[in-house]
């Protein structure tokens, strides 16, 4: 109706409102359709569009839809008429709907959900027929990149974590990293300071394995050394309550051999996170020869709880993710396929 056009930049709004009301009190009001109004492009419109384009190019990382949205907005600002802008928006929408990325994203959407609907060979034992154990407390062994990332993933959904290291220096370094991650998230507005402090308080850093006595699940996240892992699992077997799950973040080692160091192989599973563990979504859950359906159901549910995409895989060298990468890197390393090292890394990422 044109009222907002007359709003004063400063001054008394009530006085101006009364003035407008008196001027139209005895006159019919002409309703204007926005779609019929000419678009007057502001001088700074191009600057805004370019700035938005730079941000999208940086954050979208190859996705076409965000740029198409920007092009639709740009068309609405620069087209002669409203319908010209609508027509361009429809064209862009059709390109997206029939494009390769649309098909790929739909496939990924349904594949992620299908992967979580696990079943064991034979089809009699499935995610529907097996009840997971409750996981209210966690233990994490190791304060390296993986251990701290797993810890952040757990405390981010308010699961308390007992974090174990072999010496105070490594423990302090790990806690400092977790603190920096939370400080950065607060600075970027992803989380409030109060919530960050609350979640940080859920970490219990210690050198004492005895403090794992009552946790529901422990994830070992040390470097790939079978002898050391078996020593740790033997210790966990003695310390943790009988119902506790003992999991390894190993990326390629044999889960059954790790489980052989315990008297509860049915409670042992692989939980392979990808680096950085608090950001990457994929979680490979590895079932060993003796891993029980209850344990499988629990680690799969835990994956969803900590906002990962859990996938159940079998026990073989490299499992699935690294097994594919082994062959991929072997191919690109052949003389006839030789690529510069930085391209190899880029392709793997």
Nearest residue to 257 (alpha-carbon basis) of 280, 296, 225: 225
Per-residue pLDDT of the chain (349 residues; tens, 9 = 90+): 677 777 777 778 888 888 888 888 877 767 677 777 766 665 667 888 899 999 999 888 889 999 999 999 988 888 888 888 899 999 999 999 999 999 999 999 999 999 889 999 998 999 999 999 999 999 999 999 999 999 999 999 999 999 999 999 999 999 999 999 999 999 999 999 999 999 999 999 999 999 999 999 999 999 999 999 999 999 999 999 999 999 999 999 999 999 999 999 999 999 999 999 999 999 999 999 999 999 999 999 999 999 999 999 999 988 998 888 888 888 777 766 655 555 555 545 4
Please check whether residue 297 is in contact with residue 285, taking contact to mean a CB–CB distance below 8 angstroms. Answer: no
Are residue 81 and residue 6 in the same domain, yes or no? no
Are residue 294 and residue 155 in the same domain, yes or no? yes
Are residue 67 and residue 144 in the same domain, yes or no? no
Are residue 46 and residue 175 in the same domain, yes or no? no
Distance CA 139, CA 220 (A): 8
Whether residue 272 lies in the annotated active site = yes
Q: Record the pTM.
A: 0.79
Task: Copy the structure tokens of residue 185.
Answer: 């998230």
Distance CA 341, CA 237 (A): 43
Distance CA 51, CA 306 (A): 35
Are residue 46 and residue 23 in the same domain, yes or no? no
Are residue 79 and residue 211 in the same domain, yes or no? no
SS3 129: coil
- Say which of 94, 272, 317, 337 is annotated catalytic: 272
Supply the angle between the helices 145-155 and 168-187 in degrees, to the nearest 10.
50
Q: Where are the alpha helices (DSSP H) in 133-260?
A: 145-155, 168-187, 193-200, 226-239, 255-259
DSSP label at residue 126: B
Are residue 84 and residue 165 in the same domain, yes or no? no
């Amino acid at each position: 109706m044109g009222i907002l056009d007359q709003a004063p930049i400063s001054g008394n709004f009530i006085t101006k409102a009364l003035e407008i009301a008196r001027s139209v009190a005895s006159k019919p009001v002409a309703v204007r359709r926005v779609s019929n109004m000419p678009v007057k492009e502001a001088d700074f419109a191009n600057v805004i569009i370019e700035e938005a384009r730079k941000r999208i190019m940086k954050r979208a990382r190859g996705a076409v839809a965000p740029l198409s949205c920007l092009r639709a907005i740009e068309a609405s600002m620069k087209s002669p008429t409203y319908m010209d802008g609508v027509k361009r928006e429809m064209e862009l929408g059709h390109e997206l709907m029939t494009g390769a990325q649309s098909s790929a994203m739909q496939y990924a959407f349904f594949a992620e959900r299908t992967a979580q609907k696990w079943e064991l060979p034979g089809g009699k034992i499935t995610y529907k027929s097996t009840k997971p154990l409750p996981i209210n407390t966690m233990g994490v062994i190791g304060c390296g990149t993986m251990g701290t990332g797993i810890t952040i993933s757990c405390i981010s959904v308010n699961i308390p974590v007992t974090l174990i290291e072999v010496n105070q220096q490594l423990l302090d370094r790990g806690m400092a990293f977790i603190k920096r991650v939370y400080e950065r998230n607060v600075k970027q507005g992803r989380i409030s300071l109060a919530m960050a402090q609350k979640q940080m308080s859920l970490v219990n850093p210690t050198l004492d394995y005895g403090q794992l006595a009552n946790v529901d699940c422990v994830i070992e996240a040390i470097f790939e050394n079978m002898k050391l892992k078996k020593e740790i699992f033997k210790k966990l077997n003695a310390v943790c309550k009988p119902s506790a799950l003992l999991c390894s973040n190993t990326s390629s080692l044999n889960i059954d051999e790790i489980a052989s160091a315990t008297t509860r192989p049915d409670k042992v599973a692989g939980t392979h996170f990808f680096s950085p563990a608090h950001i990457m979504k994929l979680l490979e859950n590895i079932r060993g020869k003796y891993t029980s359906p209850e344990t499988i159901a629990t680690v799969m549910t835990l994956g969803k709880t900590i906002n990962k995409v859990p996938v159940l895989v079998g026990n073989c060298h490299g499992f699935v993710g690294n097994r594919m990468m082994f062959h991929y890197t072997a191919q690109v390393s052949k003389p006839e396929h030789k690529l510069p090292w930085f391209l190899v890394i880029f392709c793997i990422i």
